[in-house]
Amino acid sequence: MRPTRWWQTGVVYQVYPRSFGDSNGDGVGDLEGIRRHLDYLVWLGVDAIWISPFYRSPMKDFGYDVSDHTDVDPLFGDLAAFNRLLADAHARGLRVIVDFVPNHTSDQHAWFIESRSSRDSPKRGWYVWRDPKPDGGPPSNWISVFGGSAWALDGSTGQYYLHSFLAEQPDLDWRNPDVKHAMFDVLRFWLDRGVDGFRIDVAQFIAKDPLYRDNPPHPEPERLAHMGAWSRQLHLYDHGHPDLHGIYREFRALLDAYPGDRVSIGELHDEQIEVWAGFYGHNLDEIHIPFNFHLLFATWDAARIRTIVDGIEAALPVGAWPNWVLGNHDQRRIASRLGQAQARVAMLLLLTLRGTPTLYYGDELGLPDAELRPDQVRDPWGLVEPTQGRDPGRSPMPWDGTANAGFCAPDVEPWLPFAPGHDRRNVAAQLEESASLLSMTRRLIRLRREHPALAEGVHRTIDGSPSGTFCFLRSPDGDGTHPAVLVALNLTAESRPIELHHGSGRVLDGTHPERIGAAVDTAALELRPDEGLVVEVAG
Ligand code: NOJ
């Protein structure tokens, strides 16, 4: 099935608003700061920006604790600033996707303040309140993603409320129809303003076991080691209930009733590919882009990457469109996970696979993790579990080589330190170099748009390439009149000979730009250490 929708052919770029551009001199990025950098995003060639939350919030989880869903936090500006950003983005052909945080609110949200005021409050049933167990303990053994029990006792009303994340992020009860109506009204508010879609925060959390049964221990806790203490349980009951599908069908219908191809992107963490694929919906009537994080958590090994890519391609429901993610605001930076050389290979993979890529701001520069002193830690998870701190991947965007890198005024302290090497690794410096990761990213985004094989071609993994390499072919449907594209990746630091018997080809792009334009024989191709090549071959 040919991709025809903008969200299929386009590239999504995630902006973490605290870290993109500070326009008002407080060291924290804001909406006007994003607006001032729109031309960069157009130059880079992305199609849409997804902006992490900028709503009113006490910022206990940097905006994922929303206290007013329909207003902008003064830290980021106001609704007028959002309108300007949206209008200017649209004027440049850029779509704007906003975050939707359905599972929880801030404990300072008027709904929760009302809900906790008394057991008889009309909003009591908007959140999940339960009596203590007979011994006074929490109603179940569920643990918060950020550590500790997921239940907090409210002393004045004598009941526990559920919080899958911080105690300051109480969970809404989506089994209550009033909650669903109110949250769907939030969607309408932003759709009416003209946003092009939503990224749905922890989309699997909004339906839980209605009996609140205890989770069993995880038989292989090391499998989810990146989740810290949360990895110790098998999360059968605290999220992922099948009732989710009905909610997302309604969600989708709401979006589809609006003109202009609005999109939903779901944050879904599920090791089981079939469960993940289920969120497209039986008739592709649920989430447009169920985020596919399988590459993000993969061991960077060619055989593993191949298994993932083939597994995702095989698991897709008929007509479903894949998507790929390599970085986001919750993970370490790709350049620190893989090193600079393989970060280039990874970017080339992201931009040549079949499916919508989501690019995390700064990864196009190869930003490494920022290094923080203990007194610079800001992330609540990092304060509770130091190994889980997410600040290193959220450092300010370095625009140039001046003091404070053009992110904020030179005399202002940015809210987090810059990643090391920002005096060289910044937009202005990399713009100048054709060999930079930024230049390669920009070229590949254009190539993916212009070359039919990359824009819409089917995917076929090529068997028999040497260990440590992953090769695939992207071929446009049809009679073979359009050339195909061969992608050959060397995930090792040693050279690898490839014999693919495809005959001659021409290098369209690659991690080593001096090869661009060269004629190559794909039946006898020497991949250099850490090299990725995009080669046009006969269809
Ligand atoms: C997932 C978000 O990406 C993360 O940053 C946040 O802390 C949790 N959801 C809770 O909202």
Q: Pick the atom of ligand 1 nearest to 103's CA.
A: 11
Give CA–CA dist 163/146, Å, rounded: 10
Distance 163 CA to ligand 1 centre (A): 13
Confidence band of 481 (pLDDT split at 50, 70, 90): confident
Mean pLDDT value across the chain = 96
Nearest residue (by CA) to ligand 1, atom 2, is 201
**Using an 8 Å Cβ cutoff, are 234 and 223 in contact?**
no
Mutate to test the pocket of ligand 1, among 60, 227, 330 (most ligand atoms within 8 A of CB): 330
Helix (H), strand (E) at residue 485: strand 484-490
Strands 504-510 and 519-521: antiparallel
Under DSSP, is residue 474 helix (H, G, I), strand (E, B) or coil?
Answer: strand
Give CA–CA dist 378/15, Å, rounded: 18
Two structure tokens written together for 173: 């009860």
461: domain CATH number? 2.60.40.1180
- Once rounded to an integer, what is the mean pLDDT over residues 320-348? 97
Give CA–CA dist 496/529, Å, rounded: 7
Give CA–CA dist 6/17, Å, rounded: 24
Boundaries of domain holding 493 = 457-537
**Using an 8 Å Cβ cutoff, are 79 and 97 in contact?**
no
Does the Cβ of 391 fall within 6 Å of ligand 1?
Answer: no
Does the Cβ of 160 fall within 6 Å of ligand 1?
Answer: no
Spacing of C-alpha 457 from chain mean position: 24
**Using an 8 Å Cβ cutoff, are 161 and 154 in contact?**
yes
**Rounded to 5 degrees, what angle do the CA atoms 183, 188, 189 make?**
95
Class of residue 417 by CB neighbours under 10 A (exposed 0-12, middle 13-18, buried 19+): middle
Q: Which of 259, 145, 146, 255 shows the shortest CA–CA distance to 204? A: 145
Mutate to test the pocket of ligand 1, among 61, 99, 385 (most ligand atoms within 8 A of CB): 61
Helix (H), strand (E) at residue 198: strand 197-200
Q: How far is CA 142 from CA 105, 201, 316, 504, in A?
A: 19, 20, 32, 58
Predicted confidence (pLDDT) per residue in 70-85, tens digit = 999 999 999 999 999 9
In residues, how long is the chain? 539
- Once rounded to an integer, what is the mean pLDDT over residues 248-258? 98
Does the Cβ of 61 fall within 6 Å of ligand 1?
Answer: yes
The residues that bridge with 358 in the sheet, in sequence order, are 12, 325
Does the Cβ of 201 fall within 6 Å of ligand 1?
Answer: yes
Nearest residue (by CA) to ligand 1, atom 10, is 64
**Using an 8 Å Cβ cutoff, are 140 and 133 in contact?**
no
DSSP secondary structure string, 122-145? TTGGGB-EEPPPTTS--SS--B-T
Residue keyed to tokens 């790709």: 334
Nearest residue (by CA) to ligand 1, atom 6, is 64
Residue 494 lies in a domain: yes
Residue 461 lies in a domain: yes
Distance 65 CA to ligand 1 centre (A): 9
Instruction: Please name the residues in contact with 232: beta carbons below 8 A apart, sequence gap of 6 or more.
Output: 143, 217, 218, 221
Is pTM, for the whole model, over 0.85? yes
Count of beta carbons in the 10 Å neighbourhood of residue 412 = 16
Give CA–CA dist 368/514, Å, rounded: 25
Instruction: Give the burial string for 364-402 (b: 16+ CB within 10 Å, else e).
Output: bbbbbbbebeeeebbbbbbebbeebbbbbbbbbbbbbee
Q: Pick the atom of ligand 1 nearest to 164's CA.
A: 10
Residue 474 lies in a domain: yes
Q: Does residue 270 surpass a pLDDT of 90?
A: no
Number of separate domains in the chain: 1
Residue 383 lies in a domain: no
Residue 472 lies in a domain: yes
Output the pLDDT for position 103.
98
Q: Pick the atom of ligand 1 nearest to 328's CA.
A: 3
Distance 395 CA to ligand 1 centre (A): 17
Q: Between 79-91 and 177-193, two packed helices, what is the crossing angle to 10 degrees?
A: 60
Give CA–CA dist 137/130, Å, rounded: 11
Does the Cβ of 64 fall within 6 Å of ligand 1?
Answer: yes
Mutate to test the pocket of ligand 1, among 104, 201, 265, 358 (most ligand atoms within 8 A of CB): 201
Q: Does residue 153 surpass a pLDDT of 90?
A: yes
Distance 134 CA to ligand 1 centre (A): 33
Does the Cβ of 454 fall within 6 Å of ligand 1?
Answer: no
Give CA–CA dist 231/235, Å, rounded: 9
Distance 201 CA to ligand 1 centre (A): 6
Q: Which of 514, 515, 498, 494 shows the shortest CA–CA distance to 506? A: 515
Give CA–CA dist 470/305, Å, rounded: 8
Predicted confidence (pLDDT) per residue in 170-213, tens digit = 999 999 999 999 999 999 999 999 999 999 999 999 999 999 99
Q: Which of 397, 370, 377, 533 shows the shortest CA–CA distance to 465? A: 533
Does the Cβ of 456 fall within 6 Å of ligand 1?
Answer: no
Predicted confidence (pLDDT) per residue in 358-379, tens digit = 999 999 999 999 999 999 999 9
Q: Does residue 539 surpass a pLDDT of 70?
A: no
Distance 64 CA to ligand 1 centre (A): 6
Residue 355 lies in a domain: no
Residue 519 lies in a domain: yes
Predicted confidence (pLDDT) per residue in 100-151, tens digit = 999 999 999 999 999 999 999 999 999 999 999 999 999 999 999 988 999 9
Distance 70 CA to ligand 1 centre (A): 19
Under DSSP, is residue 365 helix (H, G, I), strand (E, B) or coil?
Answer: helix
- Give start and end residues of each alpha helix (H) in 451-506: 452-456
Q: Does residue 321 surpass a pLDDT of 80?
A: yes
Distance 96 CA to ligand 1 centre (A): 19
Does the Cβ of 202 fall within 6 Å of ligand 1?
Answer: yes
Q: Pick the atom of ligand 1 nearest to 390's CA.
A: 5
Two structure tokens written together for 172: 């809404």
Distance 143 CA to ligand 1 centre (A): 15
Residue 295 lies in a domain: no
Give CA–CA dist 142/198, Å, rounded: 28
Q: Which of 231, 236, 232 shows the shortest CA–CA distance to 214? A: 236
Output the pLDDT for position 147.
87
Under DSSP, is residue 286 helix (H, G, I), strand (E, B) or coil?
Answer: coil
Active site residue ranges:
201, 267
Count of beta carbons in the 10 Å neighbourhood of residue 163 = 25
Q: Pick the atom of ligand 1 nearest to 381's CA.
A: 7
**For 33-37, 297-301, 442-446, which range has the lowest pLDDT when averaged over its residues?**
297-301
Does the Cβ of 165 fall within 6 Å of ligand 1?
Answer: yes
